[in-house]
Chains A and B, each alone.
Chain A
């Protein structure tokens, strides 16, 4: 098997893609191009143990599998353009690489707020350098932190800040409850209470209109007119897909890169997408293409996409069938853990307690049309054991639209 596969993006999705290409039998060359200077590292600890100073940066690096030892890594290098018809990508150092197969694994970057005010003192948390920079600013005396966005990362940062002893921690969000988008009201309320009991304040039902300060941020102006004093601000208001380099190829890049149910891009046999950037239909549910920003997705998509790509390039076999992963994610905040299986977001019209109660350890089920489509466990480690029973049930359910 000769030829070259180029993987664009050098994080978890890029690493898993390279490893899975070998597992799928690809013996040609593999080149991973990543714009960060680091080898792939694990992001979830960035908002948790890394920010808390409990995990040294060196402990985050993934250990590549032996089968991927001959993969070429071009780090600190950005892919700036692609010509899919000519099978080439252009790099920011002026070089062009020709490929036989291409893996899109460029992931996401944080969305930034576009309101008036100074930039200094405002942070996002996506990379190692981000986490380090934020930690340095949070560990001073008497810090007042405002987190914009009550999603998972925002709430994790708030919880970690409390653990670090930050004097004042306030989370702002236009929605009435934290994490309510994906989890619904029942758990949103339980989580609000737990965070407040542990010292996090909330300004909910209001957005951010601007920032105070000359050189550096001193306050956050809310859309309801209030001003929250702030020494440090974290913006965790969602993310934007890194797809600009694919412009000009007639692809649907409206939200990530659209793939078919085999993770092929633009109907081509020689281009696949993996990780957060891939917008794919999940045969387990309703066939609507969605991006999924869960840690399990780079690994799941890489396994499937590598088989699809190797089959497309060699024609040796038919390739795998439709992609149908069971999404899973977790979030650690304060002394509790959220663990989710399936697609709670698709079952928000009927949300019920399956086990326990929202004051303590609880298992919540998300249903649509009378069918369980997602389960979320909240509590200590033992709730995970209970959730596993429901995970098995979710795995066995037939597709929503057969």
Chain B
């Protein structure tokens, strides 16, 4: 599963980190980092992360 975050939209809310901590994280400055090729087993969490992103910046491909 390919995860794409539109970094122009992302405003570092961190809601995705709570929903899918294996895929998304915030660094010490509060900036988002993520795993673009996420394990298929994490699909449910990544879908939840996409739902809770206030900017709707997360897309799942495939």
Q: Please indicate whether A and B come from the same complex rather than being unrelated chains.
A: yes
Are A382 and B52 neighbours in the complex by a CB distance under 8 Å? no
Residues of B contacting A: mostly:
loop
Partner pick for A391 among B18, B28, B51, B54, CB 8 A cutoff:
B18
Chain B nearest Cβ from A103, distance in angstroms: 17
Known A16-B51, A381-B31; judge A63-B56 contact (CB<8 A): yes
Are B51 and A299 neighbours in the complex by a CB distance under 8 Å? yes
Cα A32 to Cα B31 with chains together (Å): 37
Cα A295 to Cα B55 with chains together (Å): 11
Q: Is A385 an interface residue (CB 8 A)?
A: yes
Are A385 and B51 neighbours in the complex by a CB distance under 8 Å? no
Q: How large is the interface on B (under 10, 10 to 19, 20 to 34, 35 or more residues)?
A: 20 to 34
Q: How large is the interface on A (under 10, 10 to 19, 20 to 34, 35 or more residues)?
A: 20 to 34
Q: Note all chain A residues with C-beta closer than 8 A to B51.
A: 16, 299
Are B29 and A44 neighbours in the complex by a CB distance under 8 Å? no
Are B14 and A384 neighbours in the complex by a CB distance under 8 Å? yes
Q: Note all chain A residues with C-beta closer than 8 A to B45.
A: none
Are B28 and A384 neighbours in the complex by a CB distance under 8 Å? no
Q: Is B13 an interface residue (CB 8 A)?
A: yes
Partner pick for A381 among B15, B29, B54, CB 8 A cutoff:
B29
Q: Note all chain B residues with C-beta closer than 8 A to A381.
A: 12, 26, 29-31
Are A388 and B14 neighbours in the complex by a CB distance under 8 Å? yes
Q: Mark B1-19, 1 if CB is under 8 A from A, else 0.
A: 0000000010111110110
Known A384-B12, A384-B14, A388-B17; judge A299-B28 contact (CB<8 A): no
Chain B nearest Cβ from A15, distance in angstroms: 10
Are A330 and B28 neighbours in the complex by a CB distance under 8 Å? no
Partner pick for B28 among A44, A332, A383, A385, CB 8 A cutoff:
A385
Are B13 and A382 neighbours in the complex by a CB distance under 8 Å? no
Q: Note all chain A residues with C-beta closer than 8 A to B52.
A: 296, 299
Q: Is A380 an interface residue (CB 8 A)?
A: yes
Q: Mark A366-402, 1 if CB is under 8 A from B, else 0.
A: 0000000000000011111100100100000000000
Known A384-B13, A388-B17; judge A62-B26 contact (CB<8 A): no
Q: Mark B31-56, 1 if CB is under 8 A from A, else 0.
A: 10000000000000001000110111
Q: Note all chain A residues with C-beta closer than 8 A to B15.
A: 296, 328
Q: Note all chain A residues with C-beta closer than 8 A to B13.
A: 330, 339, 384
Taking CB as reference atom, which chain A residue is nearest B26?
A385
Q: Is A42 an interface residue (CB 8 A)?
A: yes
Interface residues of A in 59-73 (CB under 8 A from B): 59, 62-63, 65
Q: Note all chain B residues with C-beta closer than 8 A to A62.
A: 56
Q: Note all chain A residues with C-beta closer than 8 A to B9.
A: 59
Cα A42 to Cα B9 with chains together (Å): 13
Cα A384 to Cα B31 with chains together (Å): 10
Q: Note all chain A residues with C-beta closer than 8 A to B29.
A: 381-382
Cα A44 to Cα B54 with chains together (Å): 8
Q: Note all chain A residues with C-beta closer than 8 A to B31.
A: 381
List 7 tightest A-B contacts by C-beta distance, closest first: A381-B30, A382-B30, A381-B12, A384-B14, A385-B26, A299-B51, A385-B30
Task: Show 10 residue pairs from A and B whose CB-CB distance is below 8 angstroms, ordered by the A residue.
Answer: A16-B51, A63-B56, A295-B54, A380-B30, A381-B29, A384-B13, A384-B26, A384-B30, A385-B26, A388-B18
Question: What residues make up the interface of B, taking CB atoms closer than 8 Å to A?
Answer: 9, 11-15, 17-18, 26, 28-31, 47, 51-52, 54-56, 59
